[in-house]
C-alpha cells in the first residue's frame, strides 16, 4: 500500500508555494504548530518523506530553515528535535510582535487597496457561518493578519511576522485550543478593518497593538494556571 500523504489545507497555501522545499517547510511547520510533532519529538527524515510524498533534498532544506526559525533544535551527531518554548521567552516573542504588527498595520493603511479590504471582510464574514470551530477561527485570524501583511508591501516584514505568528499559533495550541474563545479576536479584526478602510492609520496602529497584547495576556494567564496546578 502506498504511503498516506498529508493533505494540505488552505491555511498552508501549498498551491501557491514556489518550490518543493517551500511546500515541505509549510507542511512540517504546520505539524509542529498543531502539535502533531510535539516539543522534544525526534525528527525522522525518512518518515517525513513518506508522509508528505516529498523527496529527501527538499525535506532537508525545509528542516534547515525550520532550525533557523527556531522550530527545531540541531543536536550534533544526533539529529534534530522539535524545540520547546521556554516560558521565560514569551515576553520576547510578544514584545517583538507588538512592535512589528502595528507597524505593518500602519503601512497597510497607507498602501492597501480596496481589493485587500474586500477580501478581509469576506474572510471575517466566514466566521458567522454555522458550525465554525476554534481551529476555523484561528485560521481566520491568521488570514486577516496575512492580508494586512500583504497590503503593507514589505516582504522582509512579512517573512518575519509569518514566523512569529506561527510560534504564537503553536502557543495557542499548547495552552488555549481547548478553552479559549477566539470570537473576540474576530471582533477586533473587524475594528481594525474599519480603521484601515477609513484610512485612519493611527487607529489601525493602536488597535493592532491592542490585538497582539490581548492574545499575549490570554497565553500568560493560561501558562500561569498550568504552572500553579
Q: What is the pLDDT at residue 178?
A: 62
pLDDT level of residue 62 (50, 70, 90 thresholds): very high
- Across 54-76, average pLDDT: 95
**Cβ–Cβ < 8 Å for 174, 117:** no
pLDDT at 83: 94
Domains along the chain with CATH numbers: 10-82 (1.10.10.10), 87-228 (1.20.120.530)
Q: What is the C-alpha to C-alpha distance for residues 206 and 202, in angstroms, rounded to an integer?
A: 6
pLDDT at 15: 40
pLDDT band at 64 (very low <50, low <70, confident <90, very high): very high
Comparing 77 with 110, the larger pLDDT belongs to 110
Residues whose CB is less than 8 angstroms from the CB of residue 54 and which lie 6 or more positions away in sequence, other chains included: 20, 23, 24, 27, 48
Q: If pLDDT is split at 50, 70 and 90, which confidence band does 9 have?
A: very low
Classify 44 as helix, strand or coil: coil
How distant, in Å, are the alpha carbons of 93, 95, 163 from that of 85? 10, 15, 14
> Which contacts qualify for 127-133: CB closer than 8 Å, 24 or more apart?
127/183, 127/186
Residue 201 has pLDDT above 80, yes or no: yes
Neighbours of 176 (CB within 10 A): 19
d(CA 6, CA 116): 30
pLDDT tens-digit profile of 93-124?
899 999 999 999 999 999 999 999 999 999 99
Residue 157 pLDDT exceeds 60:
yes
What contacts 7, CB < 8 A, 6 or more positions away? Answer: none
The C-alpha cell at 24 is: 515541505
Residue 92 has pLDDT above 70, yes or no: yes
**Which range has the worst mean pLDDT, 45-49, 182-186, 193-197?**
182-186
Amino acid at each position: 500500500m502506498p504511503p498516506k500523504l498529508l493533505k494540505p489545507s488552505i491555511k498552508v497555501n501549498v498551491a501557491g508555494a514556489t518550490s518543493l522545499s517551500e511546500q515541505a517547510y509549510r507542511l512540517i511547520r504546520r505539524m509542529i504548530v498543531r502539535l502533531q510533532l510535539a516539543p522534544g519529538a525526534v525528527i525522522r527524515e525518512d518518515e517525513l518523506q513518506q508522509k508528505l510524498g516529498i523527496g529527501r533534498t527538499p525535506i532537508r532544506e525545509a528542516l534547515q530553515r525550520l532550525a533557523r526559525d527556531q522550530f527545531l533544535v540541531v543536536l550534533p551527531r544526533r539529529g534534530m528535535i522539535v524545540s520547546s518554548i521556554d516560558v521565560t521567552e514569551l515576553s520576547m516573542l510578544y514584545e517583538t510582535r507588538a512592535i512589528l504588527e502595528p507597524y505593518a498595520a500602519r503601512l497597510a493603511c497607507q498602501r492597501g487597496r480596496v481589493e485587500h479590504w474586500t477580501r478581509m471582510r469576506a474572510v471575517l464574514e466566514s466566521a458567522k457561518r454555522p458550525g465554525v470551530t476554534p481551529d476555523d477561527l484561528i485560521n481566520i485570524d491568521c488570514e486577516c493578519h496575512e492580508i494586512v501583511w500583504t497590503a503593507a508591501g514589505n516582504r522582509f516584514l512579512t517573512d518575519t511576522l509569518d514566523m512569529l505568528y506561527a510560534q504564537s499559533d503553536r502557543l495557542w495550541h499548547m495552552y488555549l485550543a481547548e478553552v479559549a474563545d477566539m470570537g473576540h479576536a474576530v471582533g477586533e479584526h473587524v475594528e481594525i478593518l474599519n480603521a484601515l478602510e477609513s484610512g485612519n492609520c493611527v487607529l489601525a496602529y493602536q488597535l493592532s497593538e491592542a490585538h497582539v497584547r490581548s492574545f499575549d495576556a490570554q497565553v500568560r494567564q493560561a501558562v500561569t494556571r498550568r504552572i500553579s496546578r
